[in-house]
Amino acid sequence: MLRLDDHPSGRHFLQIPGPTNVPDRVLRALDHPTIDHRGPEFARLTLEILEGLKKIFQTAGPVVIYPASGTGAWEAALVNTLSPGDPVLMFETGHFATLWRKMAGRLGLEVDFVAGDWRSGVDPMVVQTRLAADKAHRYKAVMVVHNETSTGVTSRIPLIREAIDRAKHPALFMVDTISSLASMDYRHAEWGVDVTVAGSQKGLMLPPGLSFNAVSDKALAASKLAHLPRSYWSWDEIIASNRDGYFPYTPATNLLYGLHEAIDMLLAEGLPAVFARHRRHGEATRRAAHAWELEILCRNADEYSDSLTAIVMPDGHDADIFRRKVLERFDLSLGTGLGRLAGKVFRIGHLGFFNDLMLCGTLCGVEMGLGLTGVPHRAGGVQAAIEYLRDGIAAKAPRARETKVGSETTFDATLANYGLPHRKVVSDPT
């Protein structure tokens, strides 16, 4: 018989960039008896979840939940809004952008895929130039992966929105937030996104198995005219059933219990505090990498990801041999290099249910593994992170269920409170 969780003593360190560590509170919620998904108790559960999700996505519009991995929500975004042969604009930021492009091609869309170096985010100027050149408005959608999980590079969504607006282009804007939602500042409505794609297994701290589409009015209108074949993924029936708290099919009842609990935890911490926590852990990890004198894959400091860091292995060293040693010796799972980055990088996930000491333990495992596998580096990465974590907190962020989210000032105030770089110093409005 296969033994699950075959870890002899203490907790396994699951520091891949998703699935992430699932909090005990969520695990206990999953453990409740399954109830009738057509009964009154279930309707209350759904309605509370749908309200909570609006706060997490920062939208007043519908959020559709699928019992599927993130890939399902990619497909749902495309088949609900587009028609066969529609031209769409996509960007090669890494492995996941490449997979989404492949799916779009298979579904019969005409994809214009802007080449990238797998080390940078989407350049807003390129978006503007491409769209401005499309005088006939042939492109029906622009698709961007917010946080490329394969590279640890974050594209700047508000700047891309501005670029679309400057080009005065009517294309739909679709954003994959699978490894950024509930970890990094993200605002579906304020940033003018039409379809946001997300998954359960990263910032939302759940096991894999649920995924989401947040939908704008413009996307809903497009769905009335779109005729790519769709049935299971169709928003209209789901949104109609959701009004009373139900689904047109059997939902993933126990994962929804977990989702209810996870939303409660995130809102209790307060989204600005959640984002600031991720930013601190990203910064501490980058300081460790700099001290080790190892290269961070992301080229531009203003595109560093707060949910993971991809570190380049020095020439002649295989990242997977290093990862294997770290797993065997320290029971620590690090992310592998994906696609063309296989063997060349390893990825440290610092997202989801995570705290300072978990990060210190993770970085200790990395530093010891570098030594054991003879990877050239300078000692002192862990110390650099410790010093930053110890000295970097000026104060605790407001733990406010009622903290106003979606407000730049609130997030900046929280960053200032933590002693983190922020756009402007403001007094906390709460």
Ligand X SMILES: Cc1ncc(COP(=O)(O)O)c(C=O)c1O
Dihedral (CA of 409, 412, 413, 414) sign: positive
71 binds ligand X (CB under 6 A): yes
| By CB under 6 A, residue 306 contacts ligand X | no
Query: Is the CB of residue 385 less than 8 Å from the CB of residue 363?
Result: yes
Give yes or no for residue 176 binding ligand X (CB under 6 A).
yes
Contacts to ligand X from residues 91-150, by CB under 6 A = 96, 145, 149
Regarding 69 and contact with ligand X (CB under 6 A), the answer is yes
- Restricted to residues 190-229, the positions that interact with ligand X (CB under 6 A) are 199, 208
* Cβ-closest position to ligand X: 70
> Across the chain, which distance is largest between two alpha carbons, in Å?
63
Using CB under 6 A, pick the residue from 67, 70, 282, 398 that binds ligand X.
70
Instruction: Number of residues interacting with ligand X: please give it, by CB under 6 A.
Output: 12
Count the neighbouring beta carbons within 10 Å of the beta carbon of residue 252: 20
- 179 contributes a contact to ligand X by CB under 6 A: yes
CB 304 within 8 Å of CB 148:
no
In the complex with ligand X, the residue whose CB is nearer, 305 or 362, is 305
**Token reading at 214:** 């947040």
Binding segment for ligand X (CB under 6 A), chosen from 50-58, 68-76, 133-141, 235-243, is: 68-76
Query: In angstroms, rounded to a whole number, what is the distance separating the alpha carbons of residues 80 and 236?
Result: 9
CB of 100 to ligand X, least distance (A): 7
Q: Restricting to residues 8-37, name those near ligand X by CB under 6 A.
A: 18
Identity of the amino acid at 194: D
User: Hey, what amino acid is at 314?
Assistant: P
Q: For ligand X, give the closer residue by CB, 20 or 362.
A: 20
Cβ-based nearer residue to ligand X, 117 or 217: 117
Rounded to an integer, what is the distance from CA 220 to the centroid of its chain?
Answer: 23
CB 266 within 8 A of CB 403: no
Task: Report the nearest approach of ligand X to the CB of residue 383 (Å).
Answer: 31
Binding piece for ligand X, criterion CB under 6 A, among 45-53, 63-71, 257-265, 358-366: 63-71
Distances in whole angstroms, Cα of residue 254 to Cα of each of 233, 251, 336: 21, 9, 30
Rounded to 5 degrees, what are φ and ψ at 406?
80, 5
| Chain contacts with ligand X (rule: CB under 6 A) | 18, 69-71, 96, 145, 149, 176, 178-179, 199, 208
